Structure 1
């Protein structure tokens, strides 16, 4: 049986752990790895897209990270209950022409008893930014920028 700890019902501590694990997984930019925290029949609404099942998650994330280059994400726990977690997040990325964006959003997560996410609802807005306005720089970029 597949399980992803921590399991519901969530406490503040375990909800924070779940959010950090999600942030780390998405920042890996590995669609296969990320897909494994979702149920096989997971249901998503991501902006205006509806995604069903792990295979569609992998295809969606593969395309996302081919378009959204140098992607860096930060998630924050907003609230939680027994098997639900709400997060707000922001991430930065650039397109193939070098235009930078900061994307802001909120997600609602629902987990099954085994700690796998069975439903994810995401609302996201993109804001164009200048490279100099980036918040999420890699340490080597900060050194080079000085």
Structure 2
């Protein structure tokens, strides 16, 4: 039986395992399930998301709950940018609309650092938003 505290693939990363980790993150975030996503992080994981600093799974879960209440019909794509032994860098793009119906495309970069069990202990995200029309959407269900 697999230990639930271990999240394969685990470091050290190869190109193949780094791509698998990125795909797993994309799949989890597209579920828009804060509990599922939060389980990929260590109990004391540190985050910088734009101008917000978070510490620990509880804050991450709360942040994600608020995010997906505000960012409706969220759809994300992640792409491996680079990797080392226990770090992965990704670029991403996601689209969503607000409660007024305005669509947005958000672009950014993330730097991830993992513990030996494959849980993310640090996440640094820089994100920019641009308004788009519904017709300009590229990421649809």
The SS at the match of 1:136 is: coil
1:97 corresponding residue in structure 2: 100
2:37 corresponding residue in structure 1: 34
Structure 2-normalised TM-score? 0.97
In the alignment, the residues of structure 1 paired with residue 82 and residue 122 of structure 2 have an alpha-carbon distance, to the nearest angstrom, of 16
- For residues 88-126 of structure 1, the C-alpha deviation after alignment (integer angstroms, 9 at most, x for no partner) is 000000000000000000000000000000000000000
The SS at the match of 2:8 is: coil
Q: How many residues align?
A: 138
Task: Find out whether 1:69 has 2:72 as its counterpart.
Answer: yes
The SS at the match of 2:90 is: strand
Q: After TM superposition, give the deviation of residue 14 of structure 1 in Å.
A: 0.0
The SS at the match of 1:114 is: coil
Residues 1-146 of structure 1 aligned to structure 2 (within 5 Å): 2-138=5-141
In the alignment, the residues of structure 1 paired with residue 12 and residue 39 of structure 2 have an alpha-carbon distance, to the nearest angstrom, of 20
Runs of 4+ in 1 over 3 A off after TM superposition: none
Structure 1 residues without counterparts, runs of 5 or longer: 139-146
- What is the CA RMSD across the aligned residues, in angstroms? 0.6
In the alignment, the residues of structure 1 paired with residue 127 and residue 6 of structure 2 have an alpha-carbon distance, to the nearest angstrom, of 28
Q: After TM superposition, give the deviation of residue 64 of structure 1 in Å.
A: 0.2
Structure 2 residues without counterparts, runs of 5 or longer: none
In the alignment, the residues of structure 1 paired with residue 76 and residue 133 of structure 2 have an alpha-carbon distance, to the nearest angstrom, of 17
Structure 1-normalised TM-score? 0.94
Q: After TM superposition, give the deviation of residue 137 of structure 1 in Å.
A: 1.3
